Chain A
Amino acid sequence: MKENPGREFISGAEAIARGALKAGCNFFAGYPITPATPILLHMLRELPKMGGVGIQAEDEIAAIGFCLGAVMSGARAMTATSGPGISLYSENIGAAIMMELPLVIVDVQRMGPATGGATTGAQGDVQFLRWGTSGGYPLIVLAPTHIAECYTLTQRAFDLAERFRTPVFLACDKDLVTGSFTIQSAAFEEIPVRERRLPPKDEEFVPFRFPSPADVPPMSSFGGPHMVRFTTSAHDERGYLTKNSAAMQRKNQHLESKINQHVDEIALVEADLQPGAHTLILSYGITAQSVRQAADILRTHGGRVSVLMIHSLWPVPERQIRGALEAVTRIVVAELNQGLYRREIERLAKDGQEVIGVNRMDGGLLSPADILDMGGLK
């Protein structure tokens, strides 16, 4: 354990940048966009100190394109943007899935649709991140609820990106990234850096060969000991274009299975279940802070309530959610959108369980009182 040198007062943006650098990030490309710009500024200033490269691209399409190219050269890359930028990333998110490139994408959510509210927060991208590219293949989305998690989950995003050779989103809230918070330095939890799994140097390398569909192949880089081929088109295990149906089925099954057969390994939830509680409040991101306070208020007054925070939004941690729902009859889902993640809970709820949405879409945060009032918890 590291010593405890005291407290800090820092922004979510800085915590994310620190987490990325701790995780061995050595490449960042981005395009300025409110409210994600602070991350771009930190990364461009800090990366050269570690021998890394940080660059502002001509647009978001180039920003993610630079990142994908850098990953193929062996870099550990991150980019950060907001909803309008994710729209422009869309096709290349599919490219990262298809080429199986580890990449961390920070989405500092702002109110949409379109340019929406540049300096206005929202949690409107939680389905968009999952379904924002063609094909429907899975990827991973993590969501920090407070400043310490900005640091830890950024590291975890790099860890999972390498583990599964996949793009991993960090879905953040504008107020968490641009706000500043006091933290006991010891609360910044470090997780071991997962190095890229490389194929043996002296053996023949087949870039997309996996023994069974759920296995993740090792990765070799351009300029390394092997000749490597990548393509965004349907390909065989050597990386050559194919229209062979068996090869395409196997590849696509692999893209599905490597994530969806490892949901328990990816799942991150925080359950605070109270025996005898009939209601469970479920939330994620910054809204979870209000949910914690709402539960405290309710319990102080003798009420009983269970709380579930989802840190891994995608793939949906279904087993963990079902477990938490087991004992309750009412589920309150609090989120800063029109009820986007609620639909995932509705499909997991059993007959007789009531699912209630507590929603806000005006750019403000849900207060503990809002959650208690609108959730019928008074």
Chain B
Amino acid sequence: MINQEIDSYINQDMLPYPFCPGCGHGMIVDSLNAALVKLQLDPHQVVIVTDIGCAGLSDKFFDLNALHGLHGRALTYASGIKLANPDLKVIVLVGDGGCGIGGNHLIHAARRNIGITVLVFNNLNYGMTGGQHSVTTPPGARTATTPYGNLEQPMDICSTVAVNGASFVARSTSFERDLPELIAAAIDNEGFSLIDIWELCTAYFVPNNRYSKKLLEDTMKELGFASGVLRVSPHPEYAHAYRQAVADQQGLDVLPAQYLQPKYTHRLRTRLNVLIAGAAGQRIGSAATALSRGAVLSGLWATQRSDYPVTVRTGYSLAQVVLDLDQAGFAGLSRPDVLVVLSEEGLNQVKPYLAELTEEARLYIESRLLPVQTRAVITALDFKGKGLKRIFSLMALSEVLRQSKLYPLDAFREAVALDEKYNQEDLAALDVSVGISVHPHP
């Protein structure tokens, strides 16, 4: 709390306001000051965030923390400020223009009910750039960019944020005597607050439309836009709710290392390139990781690269594992020494490699995908009645290890067990041989 009563938050050195004669902005700034005086907030704990436009000139009149940022993004900065320090009172001053370009953020800040207070300086057009129409310009209005009258429906800012979860929503005008009290109530609310404050732009909207205070109030009524406090809801504020939701995570181990201490032996002589080709859903990547981890447990160095289309659970899935005696650099997909093919989709992807395989190469392939043209030694894999499709990739790799004796099956089993996705039943399936070796026919 502060020791001395503050009678104004305005920096007198910065006065007078630069606003046009009759512009509502000065009245709103005065009302905000009156609200702050009423609340007696500690100035160090208040941040004013302004958007671009005439309203964006207002922050400098306050003897408070301030940020003047990019057009439309005030709510994103305010959200970050509040998320990182929930004790701060964050007040956003934005025009109707900012509600257009930043409309997406308006919806989502409301939806999160993040604890910021938004005052919309809504003068129905763009003042700073010369009176173009905005998202709140009434139908038929003449502006620099609607020379034949505005054809767009105005955005109901209050209804938009209210229906999306804002916890304090009100509409008023710069002329209202109780505006300071309304602003104080908005700031006092823990969650997302917004007041849509209608006002006159005497530079453009008033002369272009022979507009007046009376017509402003009439427009509001004609459009059916309600005024006063429109919504108050006590639901939780995001920055505080976040901290509550994750409180039980505090102090837990951060990304604990999973050490793979080599304890098995291997029989690798030179770098081995293994390519596993299957379909999404066959856990190709997980099986490749198990093969890699098992190799590391056996004193080898493994590198894994995956390749897949942008779709999920459909289409091909490729994983390349390079096993080496020393830390190998990674140089992309090259001709495999061992090719494992588990589905039609995978086969289509690796067809160019089949012809390149030498007599020394080994092809492990789902028996239903045979015959294929290759010089490699083929092992037909028969999974019929041997468990679930999601562990075929593991069974295939255990067959590779069984035949090649690259490293012990125990190392592979230990590697598979490191992956929470697999259970005891899956591990047991690794003992079942699914392969029948076939000599190649040229």
Residue of A nearest to B327 (CB): A182
Known contacts A49-B250, A222-B47: A182-B302 contact under CB 8 Å: yes
Check A27 against B84 for contact (C-beta < 8 Å).
yes
Check B83 against A27 for contact (C-beta < 8 Å).
yes
Q: A8-B260, A66-B76 are in contact. List 15 more A-B contacts (CB 8 A).
A: A5-B261, A34-B310, A49-B253, A66-B83, A70-B81, A70-B83, A73-B80, A146-B330, A222-B65, A228-B66, A230-B69, A232-B69, A286-B330, A292-B329, A367-B332
Chain B positions within 8 Å of A376 at CB level: none
Q: Say if the beta carbon of B70 comes within 8 Å of chain A.
A: yes
Check B84 against A53 for contact (C-beta < 8 Å).
yes
Check A53 against B83 for contact (C-beta < 8 Å).
yes
Chain B positions within 8 Å of A233 at CB level: 68
A118 CA to B77 CA, complexed, in Å? 29
Chain B's nearest CB lies how many Å from the CB of A46? 5
Check B76 against A182 for contact (C-beta < 8 Å).
no
Q: Say if the beta carbon of A269 comes within 8 Å of chain B.
A: no
Check A57 against B69 for contact (C-beta < 8 Å).
no
Can you list 11 A-B contacts (CB < 8 A)?
Answer: A9-B296, A51-B250, A58-B107, A61-B73, A146-B330, A180-B289, A182-B296, A223-B45, A223-B85, A233-B68, A292-B329
Known contacts A48-B249, A289-B330: A179-B306 contact under CB 8 Å: yes
Chain A's nearest CB lies how many Å from the CB of B88? 5
Check B260 against A9 for contact (C-beta < 8 Å).
yes
Chain A's nearest CB lies how many Å from the CB of B345? 15
Check A181 against B303 for contact (C-beta < 8 Å).
yes
Check B81 against A69 for contact (C-beta < 8 Å).
yes
Q: Say if the beta carbon of B268 comes within 8 Å of chain A.
A: no
A69 CA to B77 CA, complexed, in Å? 4
Q: Say if the beta carbon of A72 comes within 8 Å of chain B.
A: yes
A307 CA to B254 CA, complexed, in Å? 37
Known contacts A49-B249, A179-B303: A227-B330 contact under CB 8 Å: no
Among B64, B79, B84, B293, max chain A CB count under 10 A is at B84
Among B43, B85, B250, B304, max chain A CB count under 10 A is at B85
Known contacts A66-B79, A227-B44, A231-B67: A50-B330 contact under CB 8 Å: no
Chain B positions within 8 Å of A356 at CB level: none
A75 CA to B85 CA, complexed, in Å? 9
Known contacts A7-B260, A95-B69, A180-B292: A21-B254 contact under CB 8 Å: yes
Chain A positions within 8 Å of B261 at CB level: 5-7
Check B85 against A73 for contact (C-beta < 8 Å).
yes
Picked from A48, A66, A182, A230, the residue with its CB within 8 Å of the CB of B301 is A182
Check A366 against B85 for contact (C-beta < 8 Å).
no
Q: Say if the beta carbon of B428 comes within 8 Å of chain A.
A: no
User: Secondary structure at chain B's binding surface: helix, strand, loop or mixed?
Assistant: mixed
Chain A positions within 8 Å of B257 at CB level: 5, 8, 185
Residue of B nearest to A336 (CB): B332
Check B259 against A62 for contact (C-beta < 8 Å).
no
Check B68 against A62 for contact (C-beta < 8 Å).
no
Q: Say if the beta carbon of A130 comes within 8 Å of chain B.
A: no
Check B79 against A69 for contact (C-beta < 8 Å).
yes
A95 CA to B331 CA, complexed, in Å? 38
Check A179 against B330 for contact (C-beta < 8 Å).
yes
Q: Say if the beta carbon of B231 comes within 8 Å of chain A.
A: no
Give the number of A-B contacts (CB < 8 Å). Answer: 234
Chain B positions within 8 Å of A146 at CB level: 329-330
Chain A's nearest CB lies how many Å from the CB of B318? 11
Q: Say if the beta carbon of A224 comes within 8 Å of chain B.
A: yes
B83-108 vs A, CB cutoff 8 Å, 1 = contact: the mask equals 11101100000000000000011011
Check A231 against B68 for contact (C-beta < 8 Å).
yes
Chain A positions within 8 Å of B76 at CB level: 57, 61-62, 64-66, 68-69
Q: Say if the beta carbon of B242 comes within 8 Å of chain A.
A: yes
Among B75, B79, B81, B304, max chain A CB count under 10 A is at B81
Q: Say if the beta carbon of A131 comes within 8 Å of chain B.
A: no
Chain A positions within 8 Å of B289 at CB level: 9, 180
Chain A positions within 8 Å of B81 at CB level: 69-70, 72-73, 222
Picked from B87, B252, B262, B305, the residue with its CB within 8 Å of the CB of A179 is B305
Residue of A nearest to B289 (CB): A180
Q: Say if the beta carbon of B333 comes within 8 Å of chain A.
A: yes
Chain B's nearest CB lies how many Å from the CB of A68? 6
Chain B positions within 8 Å of A67 at CB level: 80
Q: Say if the beta carbon of B17 comes within 8 Å of chain A.
A: no
Chain A positions within 8 Å of B77 at CB level: 65-66, 68-69, 72
Residue of A nearest to B45 (CB): A223
Q: Say if the beta carbon of B1 comes within 8 Å of chain A.
A: no
Chain A's nearest CB lies how many Å from the CB of B250? 6
